Structure 1
Amino acid sequence: MLDRLRENLRVVFDRDPAARTVWEVVTCYPGFHALTLHIVAHGLWTRDCKWLARLVSHVGRFLTGIEVHPGATIGRRVFIDHGMGTVIGEHTVIGDDCTLYQGVTLGGLGLASKPGKRHPTLGQGVVVGAGAKVIGPIEIGEGAKIGPNAVVIKDVPAGAVMVANLARQVDKRDREREEKAEQLGFSAYGISSDMNDPVVKAIHGLLDHTVITDQKVEAILKKLEQLGVDCAEERAAGDRFDPGYLNKIVD
């Protein structure tokens, strides 16, 4: 345990230029306090002293504003900077040399796709920015960076940089685009229309054009049917489109 404490002290000086003395870190750094108390709480948890482990965890939350479930597995040289409002769930696994900032949530899903696993796994050297939410039994690859306020609900490959969030209210044009994308099998809302990315804008432009074209074709077919023309074959013909490829290039 003393080795872990020394490592946790050294990592503060390595990653926080504001740290000046050991005494300052020991007395004034809530991230250091939270990790120290978690060592105790996790040890009790693994020894089946569940209530006492939760009590130690609760005291740590009261003192630091950082909530770490005693069941969480945290590697060596992890650094929690500031930390207020950070929540780390029971089945979370945090690899060595990770860095978390304030307001981070490593949360779980009630209906887990992996039995007994509801919270994320962070590989070595992952950085999670302030306010980011990493939700569910997903895996974040080694060296990945999660931007501030990002919402991550899918696996992240090693070294990737994840930015932006998922939640947005759609207007009529967005709903039409989404409906067309679903017909084509394309996950349009894996990307957001307000992202300043020319590829994203181009894809949304193509989807918008497709919606308008479909509306025009439908109007023409109705007119022809009113004139007695059988358009059943034209209606049955499907578009030749590879949604898998489009999903792959924008995910």
Structure 2
Amino acid sequence: MNIALFGYGKMGKMIECLAVERGHEIVAKIDVGSGEIDFAKIDVAIDFSTPDAAYENITSCLKNNTPIISGTTGWLEKFDDVVQFCEEKNGAFIYASNFSLGVNIFFELNAHLAKMMKNLSQYEVSLEEIHHTQKLDAPSGTAITLAEGIIANTDYQKWKLDESGYKQIPITSKRIGDTPGTHTVEYTSEVDSIEIKHTAQNREGFALGAVVAAEWILGKTGVFTMKDVLNLG
């Protein structure tokens, strides 16, 4: 499989190593200022670029009938536009705030716990996420996905960064050293607390999930999620 990488930072380089180990070839490495792209040589693209570049990267691939996997966060105000464009072009697209197998299991656990806590009004929920100091957006896309999973299964209506309120989930974001990613969901009452937590030991799980998603989407059309890739539905 011939893969193009949009964004060639730490994640891009790790994806390259894992993809080559799995028998694939990296045929393009596109960063800011890169030249013209030969889409004819590309079977699938993987985007871990920047919030400013992601939308153009994704739509360019869809225009050129190239399936694309995106793990870039911070651009989701245009997500519905991308979904519509993908459908118009009969393309193939996967976005995930986090491609890690463990995190996607964590998403399912979070939703299940939220359903159990829905009628226990004595508990208040909060989220915390910790990432490396080079992460550009806050809160993380993973934290937003967790908050959306709680909102979908409870009476909470929205999330807010560093701010609690009526039917509002507070999210605390911390940027510490080279932390790959730690996410904690906590329900607290006057008598006890319940906590679930996912801690990434390194970035390899994110990179491997992206390569697996790229392998899975080849030959398909539609807008998919990691639940489809990992058959978690």
TM-score normalised by length of structure 1? 0.27
Instruction: Mark the structure with the bigger radius of gyration.
Output: 1
Q: Kindly indicate whether structure 1 or structure 2 has the higher relative contact order, using CA contacts under 8 Å at least 6 residues apart.
A: 2
Structure that is richer in helix per residue? 1
Structure with the bigger percentage of strand: 2
